[in-house]
Chain A
């Protein structure tokens, strides 16, 4: 039997709140936090975003970092979420020495570089070092590791909207192969003008609240946040006397190989990712699917057909939680992994908000907070570039 991969901690920041308990309260009370932007300096005031309602100054305080105007919001969100995960797991200074970090991000330090690139183009004096040396994605991983004193193997994944799910998968494989005992894995992305204008140019943003899986869906709302899990081998968990909350049992990654941004209409990639994950997990009964469900015409149709095919028409209870948080891009797979773990812990299924009319392809998503016996959850993340990933988590 393949070595087991335990989840001993998790942490999260999203528009729903600054930690696990604030997120859980909002989920349970069906309180989405998607509003017009208050901190993102965009002209598109009409857009609806899942924004973390804290300034960078205040996020710096919470993260325990000295505020600096060129310190990316992506890193601040990442530090806060990863620290909560380590605290829950009880990973102390000694253990941090051998603990690694796999972090997914798609924008990295874009929030800073886009502001200062404007100054550069306008001919204002710009320090390249302060402005752009943190542009690359790896910078955020390096700073999160340094602030949390994580000295083990570090890696950064950038596979668009599947980044954090891939980070969790990769960390799981590093543990399963015996290369690492303990890894922090997840993702972080701040809102940026770059992504807001990019998705707007693609005409896939809804200017109202997004309606995942609804026949009248118009697109997605962007969000921001970060979420990380602490993953450990069985031997290491036992050795340090840690407590596991759940187990990462399955993971599957593939490429849709259909189009740079769109998913194949019949969801080949989504199907294959789920198939691989279920196979790795030993084909368990799935009690809840936390769907990718962005609310775009294309994704929700493609994902519905893939769900129908993989579950042979008997699709388990499913929902997209993106109507609560918006699509947090590279962080989404981490945030939704935490929601999947909360579904296991609380024995509930979180509702798919804003749904009213079925697309007529599969059963309707779960529409209200529902108590259920939840033993295994499947979490989907798909992205640009055809990247498709599915994870399964089981209670213990």
Chain B
């Protein structure tokens, strides 16, 4: 089935919010990961409420409101969020309080805002949205799980779904990812992924107008060899009824390492001239960074032009009707999403 992207919005470490203008260099600020460029939230959230909110919640609410405004939908039928780590800052805050007071008298504020479903819950609360409400937290497939569910809900009669992926990065998260070999530092020349953070939300609908961008299919798999992944791609394209010549653009999760075997293997499956671009130079790496990849690819299709960034390979001939997104997380979680217009 076709799932139309009516509108989307993203906060990333670059200038992408409220509208995308990403010619600037990443703002690496004082922390060794790509920190999101956050807007003035006062026009999206009552400052009395936002004062207590962690960054992940504020980012998610701001992009949700922007996506809803752009789509003209004031009340979605459901809200589905994917987040790999959820509300990390409040989790760490409450843990620190438990430890520093030796389980003493504690304020519950950080605790009640630390559950993973706080993001979807707070959006529902602010919108007064009593519809379907789900939160997925599945490592490098958190957003994909959420998208899978959004497709199910639209297929089962929901008119529209607010779908999002979001993550906030903290120092402890960075240290953990660096030690397990999932992150480098923006200053290093080493070919390690650079950690980022952000929120990308979409208003999806089962109904669309001619020329609108739609997701025609997604395929996710884990723990496979390069050969198996290649077979999965062939199966996916066959299932979607497209051949390698009909893909106009590859949007891939390259992150600071252009020799990545996974991405190279996929590139080589397609004719050399097919243009290849990355999205993680804008979002950085995180569990739900593919949500930004989807926003990026959708904008390219909507605007019918490529962003001001060098192509990794291929040549752009002005044709933009079908885009394949491929992302992997740490070589374990793999995702294909096919977008068309």
Contact = CB atoms under 8 A, between A and B. Distances in A.
Given A138-B141, A158-B117, A198-B106, 9 more contacts: A137-B86, A138-B287, A201-B108, A201-B111, A257-B130, A260-B125, A269-B130, A386-B133, A387-B133
B176 A193 contact: no
Contact of A272 (B107, B121, B130, B222): B130
A258 B125 contact: yes
Quick one: which of A114, A139, A386 has the most chain B CB within 10 A?
A: A386
Contact of B137 (A132, A138, A254, A260): A138
Q: Of residues B84, B138, B172, which shows the largest number of chain A Cβ atoms within 10 Å of its Cβ?
A: B138
A260 B180 contact: no
B135 A158 contact: yes
28 contacts: A42-B103, A121-B96, A128-B175, A135-B85, A136-B139, A137-B116, A142-B139, A155-B145, A158-B115, A160-B115, A160-B116, A166-B134, A173-B149, A177-B156, A194-B91, A197-B111, A198-B108, A201-B108, A253-B134, A254-B132, A257-B125, A257-B127, A260-B121, A272-B130, A384-B115, A385-B120, A385-B122, A387-B133
Q: Which of A127, A142, A154, A255 has the most CB of B within 10 A?
A: A255
Nearest to B116: A158
Nearest to B174: A128
B136 interface: yes
Interface in A147-196: 153-160, 166, 170, 173-174, 177, 179, 193-194
Contact of B113 (A179, A260, A268): A260
A304 interface: no
Contacts of B138: 137-138, 141, 154-156
A202 to B, nearest CB: 5
Contacts of B229: none
Contacts of A108: 137
A120 B179 CA distance: 14
A373 interface: no
B189 interface: no
Contacts of A142: 139, 222
Interface in B194-249: 220, 222
Contact of B133 (A141, A159, A170, A201): A159
Nearest to B103: A43
B124 interface: yes
Interface in A264-296: 268-269, 272
Most chain B CB inside 10 Å of its own CB: which residue of A131, A139, A257, A261: A257
Contacts of A137: 86, 116, 137-138
B187 interface: no
A383 interface: yes
Contacts of A173: 149, 152, 156
Nearest to B98: A197
Contacts of B176: 128-129, 131-133, 135
A200 interface: yes
A255 B179 contact: no
Nearest to A195: B111
B333 to A, nearest CB: 9
Nearest to B107: A201
A44 B139 contact: no
A387 B121 contact: yes
Contact of A257 (B111, B115, B129): B129
A132 B305 CA distance: 42
Interface residues of A, number: 62
B260 interface: no
Contacts of B287: 136, 138
* Max count, chain B CB within 10 A of own CB: residue among A131, A194, A254, A385: A385
A395 to B, nearest CB: 25
A160 B139 contact: no
B118 interface: yes
A210 B129 CA distance: 32
A333 to B, nearest CB: 13
Interface of A: 42-44, 106, 108, 113-114, 117-118, 120-121, 127-129, 131-133, 135-139, 141-142, 153-160, 166, 170, 173-174, 177, 179, 193-194, 197-198, 200-202, 253-261, 268-269, 272, 383-387
In this complex, the member of B92, B122, B149 whose beta carbon has the largest number of chain A beta carbons within 10 angstroms is: B149
Nearest to B144: A155
B91 to A, nearest CB: 8
A139 B140 CA distance: 10
A139 B51 CA distance: 32
Interface in B157-182: 172, 175-176, 178-180
Contacts of A386: 121, 124-125, 133
A122 B102 CA distance: 12
B33 interface: no
Contact of A256 (B108, B130, B132, B222): B130
Contacts of A127: 179
B112 interface: yes
B85 A384 contact: no
A263 B148 CA distance: 29
A153 B136 CA distance: 14
A244 to B, nearest CB: 23
A190 B191 CA distance: 38
Contacts of B115: 106, 158, 160, 383-385
A157 B130 contact: no
Nearest to A114: B95
A190 to B, nearest CB: 16
Contacts of B79: 255
A132 B173 CA distance: 9
A177 B152 contact: yes
B267 interface: no
